[in-house]
Amino acid sequence: MINVGIVGGTGYTGVELLRLLAQHPQVNVKAITSRSETGVKVCDMYPNLRGHYDTLAFSEPDAKALGAMDAVFFATPHGVAHALAGELLANGTRVIDLSADFRLRDADEWSRWYDQPHGAPELLEEAVYGLPEMHREKIKTARLIAVPGCYPTAVQLGYLPLLEAGLIDPNQLIADCKSGVTGAGRGAKVASLLAEASESMKAYGAGGHRHLPEIRQGLGDMQPNPVGLTFVPHLTPMIRGIHATLYSTLTAEPEDLQALFEQRYANEPFVDVMPAGSHPETRSVKGNNTCRIAVHRPGNGNTVVVLSVIDNLVKGASGQAIQNLNLMFGFDEHMGLNAPALMP
């Protein structure tokens, strides 16, 4: 049994960590922070957690208390983990950061995209990018994990088999992605209001979104050539879910694309390659840590279309964070992540 802390427990990824960890047989959530809700009991704010965390209450983030934990999750805006991670690591506490603070290896590039200096460049070298399908062995011994973003997870898992096999042109990739509204967090914003977001759909960040350099870096690690990626995210009127439609151009004649995907992910517990001809739905992964994928070659032409769906709060954030924790502490990778998706 290990003790864990969560910094940022009132946000959507924080409460999703609580929901999933309630079923984890080896984890005791000992500390949970919120500056705005200090003293409030977790189950008073989130009644779905009644019966699971009856005494746990939000507290101010305190490095000493967090440093007594075996592991701490940061479910906070960027910049917060920069400030605290070094002290926690020095105390022997492992850090799993759901924000973008340690995802980019280049501190200058991070500063350009996030409009502020990098707060902990000295930790970048040891940070491990927590995409288990790419970095499982490194994750097992890591002290500091950068959990991938939601769009980056759906896009990278969709392109991975094709890029590793050298079958497509890495310089001509197009990722057309849709997200549910929880992707923007729980803070009040006009764009997230019911009357603004429902019954409508819009693209955003077409000229350059913060997830672009992260996805480019990840796709670059899968093969040796420069990556050219057009990434256009869209806001859609659903609560959870990411749908990525991924286009690429074949440079070699593949033997069997379906078999390629099935073989690459045969031993991956959280990637489900659907039967040929399928169109995965975001609702099929709601509340669940699976990335569901289908591969198509329309008209047997030059273009491959991969459809990849995840729940942004689970495989796109808190579920993947727990998958990393399981690997780091030698637990079964499924622990806390076994429940099937909600349907309908």
Ligand X SMILES: NC(=O)c1ccc[n+]([C@@H]2O[C@H](COP(=O)([O-])OP(=O)(O)OC[C@H]3O[C@@H](n4cnc5c(N)ncnc54)[C@H](OP(=O)(O)O)[C@@H]3O)[C@@H](O)[C@H]2O)c1
For residues 322 and 339, is the Cβ–Cβ distance under 8 A? no
**Of 42 and 167, CB closest to ligand X:** 42
Closest C-alpha to 311, from 201, 77, 189, 154: 154
Least Å distance, CB 141 to ligand X, is: 24
Do residues 83 and 99 touch, judged by C-beta distance below 8 A? no
Give the nearer residue to ligand X in terms of CB position, either 75 or 160. Answer: 75
Quick one: residue 248, left, alpha or beta (phi over 0 = left, psi -120 to 50 = alpha)?
beta
Q: Select the residue whose beta carbon is closest to ligand X and give its number.
A: 11
Residue 177 appears among annotated catalytic residues: no
CA separation for the pair 235, 73 (Å, rounded) = 27
In 3D, which of 283, 284, 264 has the Cα closest to residue 273?
Answer: 264
The residues pairing with 177 across neighbouring beta strands, listed in sequence order, are 233, 244
Annotated catalytic residue: which of 43, 150, 177, 291?
150
Site for ligand X, rule CB under 6 A? 7-14, 34-37, 61, 75-78, 80, 98-99, 149-150, 182-183, 185-187, 312-313, 316-317
CB 320 to ligand X: min, Å: 9
SS3 content of the chain, % helix, strand, coil (to 5): 35, 20, 45
Q: How far is the CB of 135 from ligand X (least distance, A)?
A: 17
Ramachandran area for residue 185 (φ above 0: left; ψ -120 to 50: alpha; else beta): left
Least gap, CB of 318 to ligand X (angstroms) = 8
The residue count for the chain: 344
**Distance separating alpha carbons of residues 178 and 286, to the nearest angstrom:** 15
CB-nearer residue toward ligand X: 193 or 259: 193
In this complex, which beta carbon is closest to ligand X, that of residue 75 or of residue 271?
Answer: 75
Select 163 or 321, whichever has its Cβ closest to ligand X.
321
Tell me which residues are annotated as active site: 150
